[in-house]
Amino acid sequence: MKTRKLGVFLTCSTIFALMLTTFAAFVQPVKAAEQISIVNHQGFLDSAGYYNVYGEVKNSGDTAAKNVYVKITFSSGSEVDEDEHETLIHVILPGRKSPFMGTAGSIQGSLVTSYTVELMDLTMSSEDLPKVLQIMSSKSEVNIINNMMINGTVKNTGTETATYTRVYATVYDGPSGTGNVVAVTSCTAQPYNLDPGQTGNFEMGFFITQGKTYASYVLAAESDQYAATTEYVAATTIPEFSSFIVVSLLIVTMLIVAVAAKRKQLQTAHSNLN
């Protein structure tokens, strides 16, 4: 009798163990929540007199995140100006970063004495976007008015149309996308709806500020359906500011000489007539 009960117990235990093993095979591991943190930011007065804050956040979790907002508070004595800003990239994939920026509005830039940046409790989980938008090429140059232009091409390698395709640039004062963020800019691709296999152009820019170093930039792309295949890292091409000063002085000098020569010609012609 005891032997029969032992056999029934062992049989039931074996069946139960098999059921647990089968159930475990079909259960997917639970993903941790997205983990957003501010990893970099700095504020400074630009050449136009505005006080800007540039920075970036990173998703250290294993789930994509959306609706990521930061609150930037500018202070000038007792006066406070605060505003909420969504990160430029709307869906931040695991392990990736997104830039953000903000400008003091109600406080004059030169009067800003301090600022703070904090994450807002609005972040939500999101489905991953297929990584099919590929930055094919890019270059940068600075024109005579100290405006850095970044242009290039982006391709849709997916199977569906990429609607409202955007390209974002985060500019750093260190090489290969390291150091502090010194500028953030973005634009839509042309055309901004890219069919499968189609390549679009992009061009964006910002004014550089004397005393700041602009060594490298990182590009990322995003559409309503897709994310970038990977981040595109490039070095900037910026001449020394002294070159701009020299060129500007040369232009001004040439204009003065030309005006003086023209005035002398007019005076000579007038004298000859008399």
| Structural domain containing residue 221 | 131-235
CA distances from 208 to 6, 173, 176, 215, 249 (A): 83, 12, 19, 12, 19
Number of neighbouring beta carbons within 10 Å of residue 12? 10
Helix (H) or strand (E) holding 240: none
Residues 136 and 230 in one domain: yes
Residues 82 and 148 in one domain: no
In a domain, 268, yes or no: no
Q: What is the DSSP string of 18-86?
A: HHHHHHHHHPPPPPPPP-EEEEEEEEEE-TTS-EEEEEEEEE-SSSEEE--EEEEEEEETTEEEEEEEE
- Do the bridges between strand 51-59 and strand 79-86 make them parallel or antiparallel, or are there none, so unpaired? unpaired
CATH number reported for the structural domain that contains residue 71 in this entry: 2.60.40.1620
Domain count for the chain: 2
Residue-by-residue pLDDT tens, the chain, 274 positions: 545 554 545 455 554 444 444 433 333 333 445 699 999 999 999 989 999 999 999 999 999 999 999 999 999 988 999 999 999 999 999 999 999 999 999 999 999 999 999 999 999 999 999 999 999 999 999 988 889 999 999 999 999 999 999 999 999 999 999 999 999 999 999 999 999 999 999 999 999 998 999 999 999 999 999 999 999 999 998 655 444 444 454 565 567 767 767 777 766 666 666 5
In a domain, 244, yes or no: no
Residues 103 and 168 in one domain: no
